[in-house]
A and B are shown apart, each in its own frame.
Chain A
Amino acid sequence: MISIGLIEQIEHIVGRDALVHDPDERRVYEADAFTLVRRRPALVVLPETAQQVRDIVRLCHETDTPFVPRGAGTGLAGGALTRGDAVMISVNRLRRVRRIDLRNRVAEVEAGVINLKLTRCVSGRGFHFAPDPSSQQACTIGGNVATNAGGPHTLKYGVTVDHVLGVELVTPAGDCITLGGAEECYGPDLVGLLVGSEGTLGIVTAATVRLTPLPEAVRTILAVFDTIDHATCTVRDVIAGGIVPAAMEMMDRGVIEAVEAAYRVGFPLDAGAVLIVEVDGAADGIERSAAMVLEICRTNGARSTRIAKDEDERALLWKSRKRAAGALGRLTTSYCTQDGVVPRSALPDLIREIAHISERHGVRIANLLHAGDGNIHPIIMFDERDADEVRRALDAGREILRSCIRRGGSVTGEHGIGVEKIEFLEMQFTPAELSRMLRLRDTLNPRRLCNPDKVFPDGKGCWEVRLPGKQAPV
C-alpha cells in the first residue's frame, strides 16, 4: 500500500535489517494487547537512533504517509494499531541508557528501554524507576510516556508524568526537539501535555526521568476479608486516615480462585476479597505505619491479617497480583479487562453495582483493583463463540464505565483511550472541551499523519470491533 520508492528511501535511512516487509513477519505487529481489532501495517521500521526516526517521519510527512509509533505492544487500548496504509515506527531498538546521574537522581533513556531494565540498572545502587505497570518486564519507557502509565505503586509514588522531567520528541513534521529536563521549567507544562498524549503529538525518542531511592524498610500486609465490601471500606478508611501506603491492591473471589490455581499463594478460596497493602519508608516509622493499617483492617472485619515474613513471601504476593489477569485465562475462554477510576470513597458502592451489572447481564466479572487509587480493573469473562454472550460482555463493560463517569470518575486511569474507548471520551467531556483538545492536536499534528484516528471521536469510524478476544495481563 505504500510505494516501492518510499520503502527504498526508508531502507536508505535505516538499512535493510531494520525493515519488516514480509507479510508474515508483519503479522506480529497487527495488534497490541488490545486484540479486538487487527490491521497489518504496510511496513514496519526499526530505527536505532532519534535521527533515523526524524528522517523517517520527515519522509512520511513529505509523502503524506500515515505513521504510528509502537513500543513493546503491551498497550491494552489499541493505541499502537495501524491502518493498512501506514508505516509503523517501532522504538524497540532505541535502547540506549544515555545518562545515569544518581547524585541528581535522574536518567536519560531512549524510548525503547524496557521499564524493568531501567530499574535493574540502578537498583544495585539503591534506586529505582518508580512507575511499575504490571507489564514492566516488557513495556518500554516510550510506551510508558505515551500512555502516562501507572502501576500498583503509583499510590505513593505517582504515575509516569510525575517522573518525567523532559522529553526528546520527533514532531509530526519531522523535527527532533527537546523540552524540559530541569526540575522546574518555567511557562506552561508542555512536557506534561505530551506525556499521555498517546503518540498523537509526535514520537517520543528519549526521556529524562527521575530515579527514586529504594525505601529502607517495607512491610507487605495481606488482609483477608469475608466480603469485598469489607475490603473496599478498609481502603476508604486507610485513605481517610491519612496513611499513604506505597500500594493498596485488591482481588475479589473470582481473581483469588484463578490466582490460587496458578500460583498457590495460600489465599483461602472462600474469602470474599484479599487486600495487599504495602507501606514503606525509613525504618523508624515503619512498624507503627504497618500497625495502623492492620488496625483499620481488623476494625473493618478482616478475617485474618499477616505481614509477609521475608522477601520471598513478598515477591510471591506481588507475583500473584501482577500476573492475576493472566491467571484468569485458565478459567475462561475469553475475557476483557476494563479500566475505570472513581473517587476512593465511591469504591464500595461501585463494586456493589458491578455485582448487579454482572448479574443483570449474566456474565462473570472478577475484580482486580488498584484500590488505593480508586482504579478498578473488572475482568469480564465470556465465551467468544457465543455471540449473545459477547454482546452482553460488551454491554456490561460499557455500563461499568458509565457508572464511573456518573460517580465523578474517569473511563481510564492508566490504559489510555487508544481505539478502545473513543466512544467514552464523548461521555466524559463536553463537545466544547473535546474541541479544544482537537484544536491542539490539529495545530500540532495538522495533517493527522502521526498516529491517525486514535483517541478522538473523529477517528471512531475507522476501527470496527468485531469479537472480544483474549487480552494480555493488566
Chain B
Amino acid sequence: MLWICGGATRAETPPAGVTELRMPRFDEVLDYWPDDMTIRAPAGMTLARLNEILAGRGQELPIDAAAPQRATVGGLVATGLSGSRRLARGTVRDALLGLTQIDADGAVLEFGGRVVKNVAGYDMCKLLLGSWGCLGLIVDATFRVRARPESSRAVVLEPASPAAAESWCAALLASPLAPASIDWVDASLARRWGLAQNPLLIVGYEGLHEDVEGRIRRTQSLLSVTGAALERGAYTELREHIAQLALCDPGHLRASLSSSAVMYWVGRLRDLDSNIAVAAHLGSGVLLLDFSAAAPEALSRVVSEMDEHRVPWIVPRSPVRAASAPMTRFSSDALRLLRSVKTALDPQALFGRGSRFARAAELDTVSGHTGAGFR
C-alpha cells in the first residue's frame, strides 16, 4: 500500500503498514517547449523551481499555491486547488494538458499530451486531478504555460461594509474590465499582513502596461472610490499571504460558494465565531478560513452549517484540534461515482489507504469486483 507525499503540506502521516513515497529526486524538467508554451515537469519539482525555469523565457504557470517553495507539481495536480488569479488566468485544471502516472497495476500510463486541444478517448487526467493520492501515482505533468505579463498590479479598496464589497464585486464582474483577481480579506488579516485596519477588497490586473493602468483607473471610476496601488512585488506577496492560509494551524477550511453568497457567509461566520479569520477569492466564490484564533469547536460548527446549506468544503490540512474531523463531504451521487471509479482503477485500494481523503470518499472499502455499474 502506498501513501504518496509531495510537499507534505497536508500534515498527515500514513497509518501503520502503509509505505510513504516521496519523489524529491524527480525534479529535473523533462521537456520544455517554450515556443509552444508547454512544459513537462516531474512530480517532485516545486512550483517555485518550475516558475524559475519558465521565467528564463518570460513565461510562468500562474497558479497561486500555498508555499511555492514546498508545493510540488504532483501535489498541485493531486489537490487541484488554485488561488487568486484563477479569475482571468485559469486554474490547475485549465493548465493541465497531460499526465504520466503509475497505476495500481504498476503500469506506466500517459494520458492527454502536449497539445492544447485533444478529445481522443476519456480525459483520464481529470481523475487524477483532486485525487489526493488515492487513484494513482503522478510521475509528471504537462502544463500549458502563459507569458509573464508585462504589468501585474492591484488596487486596494476599503469597502465600508460587506454589502459594499458585494456590490463592488458585482459591478466588476458585470464590467468588461476582466480583473485577474478579486480578493477580499477581513480586518484581522489586513492587520496581520500590515496592510490596513479595515477589511479590504483587492482587485488585480495583468497585461500590457497601458492596459493595466487604464483598467485600474476605470475600476476606481466605476466604483467611485480611490485606492492604493500595489506594484507587482506587493501584489504577489499578498496573493501568497492569502494562499498561505491553507497552511495555518490548527485548522483551515476552504469552501466553494456562489460569488454573490460570499459576503453573506462572511457575516454568518462572524456570528458563529468572530475570531475566525476570513479571506475570499470573492470573484470566484472561494472562501478561505483560518481557525488559529477561533474556539476549538468553531471548525465543526462551520462544517455542520455548510453541510446544511450543501456548500462544498474541504479541510485540506489535517487540523491539529480535530484530527478525526472529516476532510470533505461528497454528495451521495458523487460518492457512488467515485467508488465506481476507484473500483475500476484501484480495486485493492493500494493508494492512499487510511488517508482522510479516502475516509471521506469511503474508498478504503471498495468491493474489488468490477462490473457492478453505478445507479
Contact = CB atoms under 8 A, between A and B. Distances in A.
Nearest to A149: B119
Interface stretch (A113-121, A183-191, A354-362): A183-191
Given A162-B94, A240-B34, A282-B214, A171 B375 contact: yes
B208 interface: yes
A25 interface: no
A102 interface: yes
Contacts of A322: none
A190 B337 contact: yes
B93 interface: yes
Interface stretch (B8-16, B17-25, B255-263): B255-263
Nearest to B148: A242
Nearest to B343: A443
Contact of B345 (A216, A440, A455): A440
Contacts of B148: 242
A196 B122 contact: yes
B277 to A, nearest CB: 20
Given A415-B119, A443-B344, A236 B333 contact: no
Nearest to A286: B211
Interface in B192-232: 207-208, 210-215, 218
Interface in A176-232: 177-179, 182-190, 192-193, 195-197, 213-216
Contacts of A424: 120
Contact of A103 (B118, B131, B259): B259
B122 A193 contact: yes
Nearest to B176: A216
Nearest to B115: A341
A128 to B, nearest CB: 12
Nearest to A243: B147
B119 A196 contact: yes
Contacts of B343: 443
A150 B121 contact: no
Interface in A260-317: 281-285, 288-289
Interface residues of B, number: 91
Given A196-B123, A197-B122, A443 B340 contact: yes
B171 to A, nearest CB: 10
B154 to A, nearest CB: 16
A86 B122 CA distance: 23
B93 A189 contact: yes
B328 A186 contact: yes
B207 A375 contact: no
B330 interface: yes
Report the 8 A-B pairs with minimum CB-CB distance, sorted nearest first.
Answer: A242-B147, A285-B211, A284-B214, A192-B126, A216-B176, A184-B256, A177-B333, A413-B117
24 contacts: A103-B170, A126-B174, A159-B117, A171-B375, A178-B331, A185-B130, A185-B256, A185-B312, A188-B338, A190-B126, A190-B337, A213-B173, A239-B36, A242-B37, A285-B211, A289-B208, A417-B120, A430-B109, A436-B103, A440-B124, A440-B341, A444-B337, A444-B344, A445-B373
Interface of A: 101-105, 126, 147-148, 150, 154, 158-159, 161-162, 171-175, 177-179, 182-190, 192-193, 195-197, 213-216, 236, 239-244, 281-285, 288-289, 341-345, 370, 373-375, 408-417, 421, 424-425, 428-430, 432-434, 436-437, 439-447, 455-456
Given A104-B258, A443-B372, A443-B373, 13 more contacts: A102-B174, A104-B260, A158-B90, A188-B131, A189-B80, A192-B93, A243-B147, A288-B211, A410-B117, A434-B121, A436-B344, A443-B340, A443-B370
